[in-house]
Chain A
Amino acid sequence: MAQQKIFGYANRISVKQGEDITFYVNCDGASEAQVQLVRLIHGDAHEAGPGFQEEEVAHPANGSWKVKKQFTQLGSFLQVADPDNRLAVDGAFTMFCHIWPTIPKKGERQTLMGRWDTKNNTGFALAINPEGRLEFQVGDGKEVDYVTAELPLVARMWYFVGVSFDPASGQATLYQEGVANRYNSLLGKVVPHDYASHVRQTFRFRQKNAPSTPFLIAGSRDHHLLRGDFVSDLFAGKIDRPAICDRVLSREELDACKTGAKPNAAAILAWWDTTAGYSDRGVGQTVFDSGPHGLDAEGVNHPVRAMTGFNWNGRDDCFRLAPEQYGGIEFHPDAVTDCRWEETARITVPQDLKSGIYAMRLRIGPGTGITEEYIVFIVRPAKPSAKLCYLIPTASYLAYGNESLSFDAHIIQPMTGQPPVVTELDVETYEHREYGLSTYDHFEDGAGVCFSSYLRPVINMRPKYRMSSMNITWQFPADLSISAWIRHQGYDCDFITDEDLDREGLDAIKPYNCVITGTHPEYVSERMLDAQEDFVAGGGRLIYMGGNGYYWVVGFSRDNPACMEVRKLDSGMRAWAAKPGEHYLQTTGEKSGLWRNRGRAPQKLTGVGFIGEGFETASPYRKMPDAWHRTVSWITEGVEGEIIGDQGLAYGAAGGIELDRYDLSLGTPPHTKIIAATGGHSDNYVLVTEELLYAYAGLVGSLDYRIRGDMTYFTAPNHGAVFCTGAIGYGQALPANGFDNSAAKVLANVVEAFIKDGPLPGTKWTLEEKQWR
């Protein structure tokens, strides 16, 4: 029997009562799965907490679902819509493009462009052969003819490459020239390489064009008995302005095209203008053909746009300044943003299902490990009714989706201080990698991953999962500790997601008195940030439950909220660095990187911002003098002594993992009170890089007082207020000791004050009394 495993995803991450949600399941070794709708209560089996808890929910969809093996198309490429087969050229033609290959000597063929059927060896294609040389081939289903460049291509150098083929004479002529300038490529002109190759060969065979073969850019058609048609020979690197003409172009004509000029219009069959479609709001996934037939190409699995092209001059650093220099489209053979599986089942969320965090639980065989799947979704109320709203940080879940730092990241063990603890699930998904990567990973060519989507199984967005590198819960399963506490307290609470906030803005949270965040709301779009700022300024109360929040600028395309984009750059604790000139989001046109570097440090909204991170250990908080201030002493009421949060599921205390600090120089509201702070962390805790101007020895927990988590509070207009815990670990401290602990007590004081209408406690003191310290 085949190894049993089951994985799935849903078409939505947030669904309202009464709406439909569709599930997609891939299963090996079973044809039926036992399915149960569950409400997720608590996600971690840690002995200090309540353990894993779920609640089965009656639903007509419960029972047995038919499941099957489904296949995932990995790799990004462009598919040309050519219904009339105008590109099934039987006569003479020329194809050309600018390329920036990243793994030319990959050991596998990489198709640049063409109409090629790999299974039947029919058609024509310009490609890079396994040894890294430019190659053109034609095939008639029986025989294949090739012409190959004399020199291998050099990685990360821009070239202009092309081929002319005349079936009448059989002459195939390859054209390869380097087009590196001072900025656009890895190497400068001091390197004595010869990049040019011009080879002519007479072919014995001609192309046979099967009607069903698509014209693809960065891949070619393949077929498998079980899987059907798919795309293989995927290219790694950039392609700029590919084109095909209906005759042989002369060497002089191609010399002109090398500079970016269009050939004579009469010759053009298609000329994909990769610089067209940009606006100050970004660019989409359609690549427009400016040729006579309008054969536009559509991106599959998000080829990356807003990337520098062959003619980037190093001066204009954004497509908004010079779109003509941003024709580069970057392709990755291991990218996937939509598995595109066949639908397995669709259910309607009952009108009376309480707002909360749910999952379809699927089990086959033993029903544990990789034979158990939880497809998670958030149920929103059809109409808001609670005073408290839990804002589920789904953008951050996407950012970390399927991260594999334990296996691939050299930095992870020095960062965490310990060997990772991996499971069968981690090994399985790492080995097969069919479900894509996180924005913490690199593609196989070393480029950082800037897109992440939930239209694929996300193995760490499920209960019971611990992040292997840290051996604690992280993001989704960690946030279940907060919802478990909300439930334990008996608070009436509505649940919404980042996606809802991004699409609806302030309207999504305006009905609530209090919004509480997850443990690590790190990835934030402008609309999400604006909504929360306006909410607080308008009298809303915000509880920021974590650390390293409101950090990265992200974008969602309007037509595909399932997919998030981020570019990591300049400063900040970052897994990769976007290349020069590639710092702007294609989905929105905004500069990405840290909100701090765009004038909106997290301190301005919350009072605190990222200052340090460490793993292995955590610390409790100690009350600071402000804790006893008459305007805020209600926050710590019932907590005897000075220590808060000395228990927890993440390294034994509330004050740990990633820490945020009060900093007036970054916009902390001047009247902010520091209620309590951690401190004296181990030297595994280090200062964040955005704080660094000059590095020097001693920027570690035991030597730098700045490395601490600050619990803060400030009031805002119209009875608004913000309370921050200042540490990721706080949320995971809530369930400790049966939810009876000082961290939970403080939070209860705050939530109970925040959900009440009218003035907050401590606001009736006179101005003079408020000044007292």
Chain B
Amino acid sequence: MTDPDIISEDADIHVRANFDRFTRAYLLSVLSDALIEEHRLKPEGHHSEPLTRLLNWCQTRPLDEQYAVLAGTDGRFRVVRLSGKRRVPPAPVGTESYATVREARHAAFLNHIKDLTGK
């Protein structure tokens, strides 16, 4: 064996995908309108266990599946998605803008939910 390319694929991604599969299964089982409302009303601080686990999943997704808030020069806030690639700026997600950081962060959370449910 002489081809160093053999180490270019990271087998760890398969294990992560397996972990993510059963994490998503749990999260889908507890996801509810009430959970989403809990986040809307109080995005920071102490949360219920299902919301804590859901937020942990959102926050630890791969970088290119993460969202951020872009503070515009117009004073409005928009959701963007990180590229996960060095020096590649985040891309806009939709055209909605929000009056407050809190609303925009909740919108980012809803994008994670969309990714989770596929809807």
Contacts and interface: CB of A to CB of B under 8 A. Distances in A.
A193 B90 contact: no
Interface stretch (B17-25, B27-35, B80-88): B80-88
A410 interface: yes
Interface stretch (A262-270, A295-303, A423-431, A750-758): A423-431
A420 B69 CA distance: 6
A154 B66 contact: no
Given A421-B69, A422-B90, A682-B44, 10 more contacts: A152-B4, A194-B2, A421-B71, A421-B101, A423-B70, A430-B87, A433-B86, A616-B44, A683-B52, A684-B44
For chain A, the bracket of interface size reads 35 or more
A212 interface: no
A682 B90 CA distance: 30
Contacts of B43: 418
B4 A151 contact: yes
Nearest to A424: B73
A705 interface: no
Contacts of A683: 46, 52
Contact of B45 (A151, A152, A421, A616): A616
A459 to B, nearest CB: 15
Interface string A181-222: 000000000001110000000000000000000000000000
A192 B1 contact: yes
A617 B44 contact: yes
Interface in B62-107: 62-63, 66-73, 77, 80, 82-83, 86-90, 101, 104-105
A617 B45 CA distance: 6
Contacts of A417: 44, 55, 59
B88 A431 contact: yes
B108 to A, nearest CB: 5
Contacts of A421: 68-71, 77, 101, 104
A413 interface: yes
A414 interface: yes
Given A154-B4, A616-B44, A683-B46, A369 B73 contact: yes
B80 A414 contact: no
Given A419-B66, A420-B69, A421-B69, A431 B46 contact: no
25 contacts: A105-B8, A151-B4, A154-B7, A369-B73, A406-B68, A407-B82, A407-B83, A410-B62, A410-B63, A414-B56, A414-B60, A419-B66, A419-B68, A419-B105, A421-B69, A421-B104, A422-B69, A422-B71, A424-B73, A431-B89, A616-B44, A617-B44, A617-B45, A682-B45, A684-B45
Contacts of B55: 417
B68 A151 contact: no
A118 interface: no
B9 interface: no
Contact of B89 (A193, A430, A682): A430
B17 to A, nearest CB: 16
Interface in A659-686: 682-684
A523 to B, nearest CB: 25
B68 A422 contact: yes
B12 interface: no
A616 B59 CA distance: 14
A369 B4 CA distance: 47
B71 A193 contact: no
A702 interface: yes
Query: Which of B62, B71, B80 lies at the interface centre, i.e. has the most chain A CB atoms within 10 A of its CB?
Result: B71
A368 B73 contact: yes
B5 interface: yes
Interface string A470-489: 01000000000000000000
Contacts of A280: none
A408 interface: yes
Contacts of A413: 58-60, 66
A421 B63 CA distance: 15
